[in-house]
Structure 1
Amino acid sequence: MTIAAKSPLTRKLSAFVALSEVELAVLERLHQRRRTFAAGRDMVHQGQSGQAAFILSAGWVCSYKVQADGTRQIVDFQIPGDFLGLRSVLLRTSDHSFEPVGDIEAAEVLASDLLEALAETPRLATAILWAASRDEAMVVEHLVSIGRRDADARMAHFLLELGSRLALVGLGDRTGFVCPLTQYHLADALGLSAVHVNRVLRQLRERGLVTFRDGHVTVHDIGGLVNLADFDSAYLDQTGPLLK
C-alpha cells in the first residue's frame, strides 16, 4: 500500500471527492519528504518566512500566538490529516507558531511542489480548498465560543468538534477518542484558567455528560452534550459533495 493510500489526509479529502489514480499519485509525491518532530519544539515559529507546509500524518500539533506579555493563545489543534502552514506558504510569513503536542510525523511540502500539484490536478485543488474552508469555519466557531459561550458550553462544543474531526479520519467518534491534551492546553485554547478547566470538566462528569481522564474522552450522554453546546455540526461539512 502506498503512503498516500493510507494517509489520513487522503481519507479526509475522500469525504469530498472520489480521488482518481492521478490524484492519488500527486498526493503520493506530496508525502515523500517524511519528517519527525519532538514534542515541545516549534516546527514553525511566529514571523518565520520562507517555510514549507506540512501534512500531519501522526500525532497532534497546537497552533498558537504569543502576546507581548508572554501569554499564549492556542488558535487550534491539528490532528492527523490536517495541513500545517498552508496559508503562510501563500502569504510567505507565518502569523503563528506550530508546536507538537507529542512526538509527531509529518510530510514536508515545499511551496513549489504544492503549487505544481494544485495546477496539475484542479479537482484535488478544490478538495484542498474545501479542507482549508472547513478549517476557517472552525476558527469562526472558536471565536464565537470564546466571545459568547459560557465555560460549560465552550468545553462541550470543543469536545464534540474534536470527536467529529477525529471520526472523519478514523481515529474516534463523538462518543469517545484518545486525547493527548493537558488541562493547560485546554485553558490556552478556550480562554480559561487551568483551575477553571478542571472545575468545568468535573461538573460535566458529575452531570453524566462526559469524562476526560487519562488521555481519553468518553461521552456518556451525546444528546445532553449537544444540547448544552447547542452544537450543529453543519459547519464541519463531514459529508462534503462528492465531485465526479
Structure 2
Amino acid sequence: MEHFDDALARKLEAFERLGDLEMEKLRELQSKRVQIAGGNEIGYQAASARGAYILRRGWACSYKRLRDGSRQIIDIHIPGDFLGVRSLLLRSSNYSFITLTDVEVAKVTVEALREMFQTAPKLAVAFLWAASRDEALVVEHLVSVGRRGALERTAHFLLELGARLHLIGCGTGDSYECPISQAVLSDTLGMTTIHLNRVLRQLREIGLVVFREGMVKFPDIQRAAEFTGFELGYLDHSRRS
C-alpha cells in the first residue's frame, strides 16, 4: 500500500491507527482511478445519483448554483476528501463539484463501501469520524459567512485550510501552496472579488496573512489564530488510538 502517497489514509490515521488489513481495503477501494483536467464538473446539481469519489490528488470545490446564475462555494476539497457521499444514499445531489486543478479521483460505490465495512469494521468507525469532521467544517463555514467580519472570516478560512493540508503532509500549517483563484476564494467566503482583494491587502499590511503567487504564509500564526479565534478543536486532529 502506498501509505505515504495516500492522503485518505493519512487523514483517517489522525483518528484511528490503521493496520495491514485496513490499508489493503483502502487500496482496493481506490483502485478505480480517473484523471480529470482542471475546470471540469465531477457531479451535477439535481442530477441522479452517480456514485461518490475520493479525491486522491489535486483540488476541487463543491458549490450550489443559484437561480440568478451566481454560486456559493460550500467547501474547498483537498486530497483525502470524499466528494458526493450523500449521493450514494439520496436520489439526487443538491450541489455540484468542479475541479480547480488537474485531479485524480477514485470512484466509490455503495457495494464497495458495504464490503469494506463488513471486512474491516475499524474503517467504518474511521469513516464515520471523517464524515462528522466534514460536518463540523460546514458548520464553521456557516458561522463565518453569517457572523464573522471579512478580515476574521478570510484569515480563519486560510488557517483552517493550512491545518487540513498539514494533516495530510502538505505544507507546514503556517505556509502552504494554494492554487485557488481570488474568484474561487471570494465565492467561498461570500464576498465580491473586489472586496476580497481589499481584505487580503489589509491582512498583509497588518502582518497576519500573505497570499501571493499561489502561496499562503502566516508571519505570526499564533497572532493570526488569536485574531480570528481559530482553534483546532473542531478539526479533531488528535489521534485517539
TM over 0.5: yes
Return 115-124 or 130-139, whichever deviates more. 115-124
Q: Deviations over 1:21-61 (max 9, x none)?
A: 11111111111101011111101011122312111111000
Runs of 4+ in 1 over 2 A off after TM superposition: 2-6
- Determine the C-alpha separation between the residues in 2 that align with 1:18 and 1:222: 29
Contact persistence 1:41–1:100 (CA under 8 A): yes
TM-score by length of 1: 0.96
Determine the C-alpha separation between the residues in 2 that align with 1:235 and 1:95. 25
CA distance in 2, matches of 1:222, 1:45: 37
Partners of 1:171 and 1:224 lie apart in 2 by: 22
Structure 1 stretch displaced more, 115-124 or 9-18: 115-124
The alignment status of 1:21 with 2:20, answered yes or no, reads yes
Please tell me the residue identity of whatever aligns with 1:241.
R
Amino acid of the residue matched to residue 212 of structure 1? F
* SS of aligned partner of 2:89: helix
Q: Cα deviation per residue 1:142-181 (whole Å; 9 max; x = unaligned)?
A: 0000000000000010000000000100001321000011
Partner of 2:93: 94
Structure 2 residue matching 1:177: 3-state secondary structure? strand
CA distance in 2: counterparts of 1:140 and 1:50, whole angstroms: 25
AA aligned to 1:224 is R
Return 5+ residue gaps in structure 2 as ranges.
none
1:66 maps to 2:60 = no
Checking the alignment, whether the CA contact within 8 Å between 1:5 and 1:24 is kept in structure 2 is no
Cα offsets for 1:193-221 (capped at 9, x unmatched): 00010000000001111110010001101
2:210 is the counterpart of 1:211: yes
Shift of the alpha carbon at 1:120? 2.1
Match of 1:8 in 2: 7
Equivalent-residue separation in structure 2 for 1:77 and 1:111 (angstroms)? 24
1:176 match: 175
3-state DSSP class of the match of 2:179? coil
Q: Which amino acid aligns with 2:114?
A: L
Identity of aligned residues (%): 49
Residue of structure 1 equivalent to 2:54: 55
What letter matches 1:159 in structure 2? L
Quick one: which amino acid aligns to residue 106 of structure 1? Answer: V
The AA in structure 2 aligned to 1:187 is: S
**1: CA distance, partners of 2:133 / 2:208:** 27
Whether the aligned pair in 2 keeps the contact of 1:3 and 1:31 (CA below 8 Å) is no
Displacement of 1:4 in angstroms is 5.4
Aligned to 1:117: 116
| Distance in 1, Cα, partners of 2:78 & 2:142 | 20
Query: For residues 88 and 3 of structure 1, what CA distance do their matches in structure 2 show?
Result: 28
User: What CA RMSD, in Å, does the superposition of the two structures yield over aligned residues?
Assistant: 1.1
Q: Please tell me whether the aligned partners of residues 55 and 81 of structure 1 are also in contact (alpha carbons under 8 angstroms).
A: yes
Question: Shift of residue 5 of structure 1?
Answer: 5.7
Paired AA for residue 29 in structure 1: E
- Between the aligned partners of 1:92 and 1:164, the Cα distance in structure 2 is 34
Aligned positions of 1:183-194 closer than 5 A:
183-194=182-193
Do the aligned residues in 2 keep the contact of 1:210 with 1:220 (CA within 8 Å)?
yes
Normalising to structure 2: TM-score of the pair? 0.97
Amino acid of the residue matched to residue 136 of structure 1?
A: E
Count of residue pairs the alignment pairs up: 241
1:148 alignment partner in structure 2: 147
Aligned positions of 1:225-236 closer than 5 A: 225-236=224-235
Does the aligned pair in 2 maintain the 1:42–1:100 contact within 8 Å?
Answer: yes
Structure 1 gap segments, 5+ residues each? none
